[in-house]
């Protein structure tokens, strides 16, 4: 069974190989270790291994980890946010990956005491089970968000469709990149939109080939609590 160091080494090799294939620089890519299913002890081990970006998808998981973990971490919130939870989490995180409706933008603007770096979640695949803005509504959504200036739209986020077909996944990631390029070309002060949050344990290599700047890796990096070995 691989330990944390070995898992990280394997991921780094895969990232570097994807960069080499596509002429990208490793420094463009941030690995967010998704610790939502593991203990604070395991999350601390990730920080000790020099991965400083941690991702959580529930307020309770975020608070629990922040209480237990004493070393510095950069916190990414990657899950759906209920509007009534915004005030509890918004000033405790560095990045929010899951802005998926205007009421959430308004609530963030109201509750944040600083500008929050956000990704707009886009439902590229159109699956009914997925949250996110429809691609066709994205431009007007972002224009409408301009007045809520505590929300800084740094990029777009998506989840791959539920399939093992690499080509289908690739098309979704490529579409997100094209949407990102269209928005960043407008040079809107509130929406620089240079970043792309896409790719998880099973598809981060494709995501990097298609331009991901943030990959959100859970199980392949942090392992599973049931495995015992950190
Ligand atoms: C759980 C989760 C991940 C990580 O998933 P793995 O398959 O374990 O890598 C990434 N992004 C989001 C939004 C998640 O909820």
Any ligand 1 atom below 6 A from CB of 81: no
User: Could you tell me the mean pLDDT of each successive run of 10 residues in the chain, 230 residues long?
Assistant: 89 98 98 97 96 98 95 96 97 98 98 98 93 97 98 97 94 98 98 98 98 98 82
Q: How far is the CA of 218 from the centre of ligand 1 (A)?
A: 5
Which pLDDT score, from 0 to 100, does residue 187 have?
Answer: 97
Phi, psi values for residue 83, rounded to 5°: -55, -40
**Contact status, residue 120 vs residue 157, Cβ threshold 8 Å:** yes
Structural domain boundaries in the chain: 32-222
Which pLDDT score, from 0 to 100, does residue 107 have?
Answer: 98
Which pLDDT score, from 0 to 100, does residue 224 have?
Answer: 87
Any ligand 1 atom below 6 A from CB of 131: no
Which pLDDT score, from 0 to 100, does residue 45 have?
Answer: 96
Any ligand 1 atom below 6 A from CB of 219: yes
- What does the alpha-carbon distance between residue 146 and residue 39 come to, in Å, rounded to a whole number? 38
Topology (CATH level 3) of domain 32-222: TIM Barrel (3.20.20)
Pocket perturbation via mutation, ligand 1, pick of 34, 121, 123, 160 by most ligand atoms within 8 A of CB: 34
Which pLDDT score, from 0 to 100, does residue 2 have?
Answer: 72
Q: Would the pTM count as exceeding 0.95?
A: yes
Any ligand 1 atom below 6 A from CB of 78: yes
Q: How far is the CA of 227 from the centre of ligand 1 (A)?
A: 18
Any ligand 1 atom below 6 A from CB of 33: no
């Amino acid at each position: 069974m691989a330990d944390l160091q070995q898992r990280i080494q394997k991921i780094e090799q895969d990232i570097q190989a994807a960069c080499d294939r596509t002429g990208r620089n490793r420094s463009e890519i941030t690995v967010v270790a998704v610790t939502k299913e593991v203990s604070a002890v395991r999350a601390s081990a990730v920080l000790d291994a020099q991965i400083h970006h941690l991702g959580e998808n529930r307020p309770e998981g975020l608070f629990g980890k922040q209480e237990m973990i004493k070393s510095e971490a950069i916190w990414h919130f990657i899950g759906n946010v209920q509007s009534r939870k915004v005030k509890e989490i918004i000033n405790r995180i560095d990045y929010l990956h899951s802005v998926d409706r205007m009421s959430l933008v308004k609530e963030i603007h109201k509750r944040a005491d600083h500008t929050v770096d956000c990704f707009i979640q886009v439902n590229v695949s159109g699956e009914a089970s997925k949250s996110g803005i429809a691609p066709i509504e994205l431009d007007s959504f972002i224009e409408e968000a301009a007045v809520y200036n505590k929300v800084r739209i740094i990029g777009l986020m998506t989840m791959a469709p539920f399939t093992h077909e690499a080509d289908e996944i690739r098309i979704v990631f490529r579409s997100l990149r094209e949407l990102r390029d269209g928005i960043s070309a407008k040079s809107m002060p509130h929406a620089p939109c240079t970043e792309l949050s896409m790719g998880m344990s099973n598809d981060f290599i494709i995501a990097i080939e298609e331009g991901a700047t943030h990959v959100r890796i859970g199980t392949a990096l942090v392992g599973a609590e049931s495995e015992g070995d950190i």
